[in-house]
Structure 1
Amino acid sequence: MSSRDIAVIGTGMHPWGKWGRNFVEYGLAAAREALADAGLSWRDVQYVAGADTIRNGYPGFIAGATFAQALGWSGAQVSSCYAACASGAQAIANARAQILAGLCDVALVVGADAAPKGFFAPVGGDRPDDPDWLRFRLLGATNPMYFALAARRRMALYGSTVEDFAHVKVKNSRHGLANPNARYRKQVAVEEVLESPVVASPLRLLDICATSDGGAALVLTSAEFARSRGLHPVRIAGLSTRTPAFPKTVIDLPDFATDSAMTVDPGERTFRESLAHDAFTQAGVAPSDVSLAEVYDLSTALELDWMEDIGLCAKGEAESLLRAGETTIGGRIPVNPSGGLASFGEAIPAQAIAQICELTRQLQGRSEGRQVEDATVGIAVNQGLFGHGSATVVVR
């Protein structure tokens, strides 16, 4: 392990679904499973990093303390953070910083959500300094419409078709069949996707992920702690949670709330490309080294964009890889072998953590029924509202 690596010695999840219970219950189940997987007790944990949920009242805003209380006050250090869909990755980053600074050896990262039915509504009232709130109001671009704009952009640039998008859903539904934590475990056909209701053209209902309840947790340790226990663990070798560099932001759509005095030259890379580049550089690996990827498939079209943004193929080539079977399990570079958000739905603070659970288990050879053979390097990427994003590289 390098001096910047940390070890993943335990993973845990609560299955995704619509269970109608408190989010704390989901996080507690995931945390206990992760501790058991690590062979540790709650008393061994020195630091708890909670990923916040903003739709579950005050306990959701202080998730780290909420989960620490549920496990039993032990005197552990604690933090809570929110970064929309990148919340889990930022919680991992908090724990990583504590470990690398020598302030703790064992950290528990937990995220869980109890999501409302339907598409997420904005939270927090009027927010005229929030570019996403302005997007809702000035463009009328709710999240599904935002995804649709990106899909239309892809169609215009590369000739993508609605059938291409449907094939993403088909692939991910097939992967999700073998994942016991997935909410949707049913094979979907191209025709079913194309016959589902239009939400925001060209995207249909089955092109867009649902909202879900669920939880995920990780036990992270220093390299020294892992060695002291005779472990040869999977390692987090790179992690980036940078912001966009205006004016080249998420998908080059307007950012209404940016001070032009802060305009920076972002170089050749977009926001998502920069996230992946940072993580790869930290890990000392290249996109060509990647064995599998967990990418942010809020929409089917978005998965294709992410494949190119993280360097798995050149611009405009994602559809070719998909149709050739290269992104399915057994192909050259499986994408979303977990089933992705297409099979899980969104449990916002848990999903980036769940991605690392998947990468860890894949690299350990523990993903029965959906195992990627000889996996050595994985990358997980997320993008959240208000400029949040993350890329995490895991190696063995």
Structure 2
Amino acid sequence: MSVQPVIVAGVGMHPWGKWGRSFVQYGIHAAREALQDAGVPWTDVDLVVGGETVRNGYAGYVAGSTFAQALGWNGARIATSYAACATGAQALDTARARILAGMSEVAVVVGADTTPKGFLAPNAGERWDDPDWLRFRLLGMTNPAYFAMYARRRMDLYGATSEDFAQVKVKNAKHGLANPNARYRKEVSVDDVLGSAVVSDPLHLLDICATSDGAAAVVLVSEAYAAKAGLTDPVRIAGIATVTPTFPNTVLDMPMLATDASGGVDPERTFKESIGDAVYAEAGIEPGDVDVAEVYDLSTALELDWMEDLGLCKRGEAEALLRAGDTTIGGRIPVNPSGGLACFGEAVPAQALAQVCELTWQLRGRARGRQVEGARVGITANQGLFGHGSSVLLTR
């Protein structure tokens, strides 16, 4: 199914860190920067979509309304989306759908978060039908342990080593040096990673991303509005996928805790591959056309998984690309030129939008100090919860 593209008119971010202020301040900063980048007056905006943040009280649950009020009521319609780490992409898809339906011309999509110290735990209360809550409360499996299962699986199936995982961090840390919005801007070595504390074997502290405060925003406009505003050769969103698995032709990934298959299901096909398949089909683009990728690296091993899930290499070949330098800026398929979550940390409703910001800068040729030369097609990936995630494909 092919879908008409929509225009990315502007992008903006609030630098990520631990600032200890309201998520609203971060979101407004990013939104105003995106509007300025687009050259779009606030009075032209007819839709505001907010990425929900579950850690910031009622204002976070109605993020669309919160951001609309803080920006200044102008009569715009509002929406709020939540999909865990895929929140930003789902919010973007909501805005895109209204534009394609002719119900909106100019949309501002905003995600922002203020996070607590330490890993992200489920909210208070008992939720016995929530697999995420169950793995925390009954199994004691916090996110680092969850990531470690993925890492151990790669080691067992494909011969990955702790040194490979460490090299992902080394690469991303080097990429992030030139990113003014990154929280961590310091080179590390393989020895630094392997010498950091073991959090959940085989992953060390520097293999796992931190939690951060931060924000990102994207201004989407219709083709008609772009023509009227004189936007020439703009970046376009050619596809967004937030698909669920198709049973029984896929393996439900953790946190369902299924790492292999039974009943004739191909054990090499995870639901994350379905996300890649869907976005390529929607955009009419092949994996070989992709020039640059921003993927979900909550842990170093997850970056390697996503490279294969998106078809950027064959199953079990990600380590070979990494070792050959193919995923570094200047290589065949640079991955996470922004520095990734390794350099930003996790601000859940903002991270999928931050990836779109980075790819927009890359495709415009404006990613100073980290530019992927000649980039015309970029792809993102994020994992949500319970068998869903997201991928956004951008072209120029």
1:200-235 per-position Cα deviation (integer Å, ceiling 9, x unaligned): 000000000000000000000111111222212100
Alignment of 1:279-318 (within 5 A): 279-318=279-318
1:246–1:144 CA distance, 2 compared to 1 (3 A): farther
**Structure 1 CA distance, aligned partners of 2:169 and 2:126?**
35
Q: What is the match of residue 71 of structure 2? A: 71
How many residues of Structure 1 are paired with residues of Structure 2 in the alignment? 389
Matched, 1:215 2:215: yes
For 1:188 and 1:244, the matched residues in 2 are separated by 37
TM-score by length of 1: 0.95
Q: Which amino acid aligns with 2:105?
A: D
Aligned CA distance change for structure 1 residues 120 and 268 (closer, same or farther; 3 Å):
closer
1:12/1:216 contact within 8 Å kept: yes
In 1, Cα distance between the equivalents of 2:83 and 2:255?
20
2:41 is aligned to 41
Distance verdict in 2 for CA 1:301–1:250, change over 3 Å:
farther
Displacement of 1:32: 0.2
Q: Distance in 1 between matches of 2:349 and 2:266?
A: 28
Instruction: Deviation per CA, 1:138-195: give whole Å up to 9, x if none.
Output: 4332111010011001100011100000000000000000000000000011100000
Partner residue in 1 for 2:126? 126
Whether 2:206 is the aligned partner of 1:235: answer no
Q: Which residue of 2 aligns with 1:259?
A: none
Pairing of 1:1-396 with structure 2 (within 5 A): 4-231=4-231, 232-246=233-247, 248-251=250-253, 254=256, 269-396=269-396
C-alpha separation in 2, matches of 1:58 and 1:28: 17
Q: Is the 8 A contact 2:131 2:255 kept in 1?
A: no
C-alpha change, 1:303 and 1:374, in structure 2 (3 Å) is: same
Cα distance in 1, alignment partners of residues 79 and 392 from structure 2:
20
Q: Once the 2 structures are TM-superposed, how far is the Cα of residue 255 of structure 1 from its aligned partner? A: 5.7
What do the CA deviations read for 1:226-267 (whole angstroms, capped 9, x no partner)?
1222212100001011123446345367469xxxxxx99899
**Given residue 242 of structure 1, which amino acid in structure 2 is its aligned partner?**
V
Question: For the Cα contact (< 8 Å) 1:249–1:255, is it kept in 2?
Answer: no
CA–CA distance in structure 1, aligned partners of residues 183 and 69 of structure 2: 28
Q: Deviations over 1:117-143 (max 9, x none)?
A: 100111142111112122223433211
Whether the aligned pair in 2 keeps the contact of 1:245 and 1:266 (CA below 8 Å) is no
How far does residue 3 in structure 1 lie from its aligned partner after superposition? 5.8
Deviations 1:324-366 (A, max 9, x none): 1100000000000000000000010000000000001100001
Q: Could you tell me how far apart the structure 2 residues matched to 1:280 and 1:14 are? A: 30
Kindly indicate whether the alpha-carbon contact (under 8 Å) linking 2:50 and 2:111 is maintained by their aligned counterparts in 1: yes
SS of match in other structure, 1:98: helix
Q: Give distance in 2, aligned partners of 1:130 and 1:367.
A: 40
Deviations along 1:363-387, one digit per CA (max 9) or x if unpaired, are 0001000000000100000002233
Alignment check: 8 A CA contact 1:30 1:216 kept: yes
Task: Look up the SS of the partner of 1:139 in the other structure.
Answer: coil
Q: Aligned in 2, Cα 1:145/1:246: closer, same or farther, shift over 3 Å? A: farther
C-alpha separation in 1, matches of 2:35 and 2:341: 25
CA contact (8 A) 1:19 1:213 kept: yes
Deviation per CA, 1:100-119, whole angstroms, max 9, x where unpaired? Answer: 00001100000000010100
CA contact (8 A) 2:271 2:388 kept: no
Q: Is the 1:15–1:183 contact (alpha carbons within 8 Å) kept by the matching residues of 2?
A: yes
Amino acid at match of 1:369: G
Q: Is the 8 A contact 2:54 2:61 kept in 1?
A: yes
Deviation at 1:268, TM superposition (A): 7.4
Alpha-carbon separation, structure 2, partners of 1:75 and 1:187: 47
Secondary structure of the 2:381 match is: strand
Partner Cα distance (1:264, 1:352) in 2: 34
Between 228-237 and 282-291, the greater mean CA deviation after superposition: 228-237
The separation in 1 between residues aligned to 2:252 and 2:299, in whole angstroms, is: 15
Which sections of structure 1, spanning at least 5 residues, go unmatched?
257-262
User: For 1:50 and 1:330, how far apart are their aligned partners in 2?
Assistant: 35
Identity %: 67
Q: Between 364-373 and 380-389, report the one with greater CA deviation.
A: 380-389
- Three-state SS of the structure 1 residue aligned to 2:209 is coil
Pick which of 361-370 and 219-228 moved more. Answer: 219-228
- Checking the alignment, whether the CA contact within 8 Å between 1:84 and 1:388 is kept in structure 2 is no
Q: CA 1:9/1:32 → structure 2, altered by over 3 Å: closer, same or farther?
A: same
Provide the C-alpha distance between the structure 2 equivalents of 1:186 and 1:268, rounded to a whole number of angstroms.
36
CA contact (8 A) 1:50 1:79 kept: yes
Q: TM-score, normalised by structure 2?
A: 0.95
- In the aligned structure 2, how far is the partner of 1:86 from the partner of 1:44? 27
CA contact (8 A) 2:7 2:222 kept: yes
Instruction: Between 228-237 and 277-286, report the one with greater CA deviation.
Output: 228-237
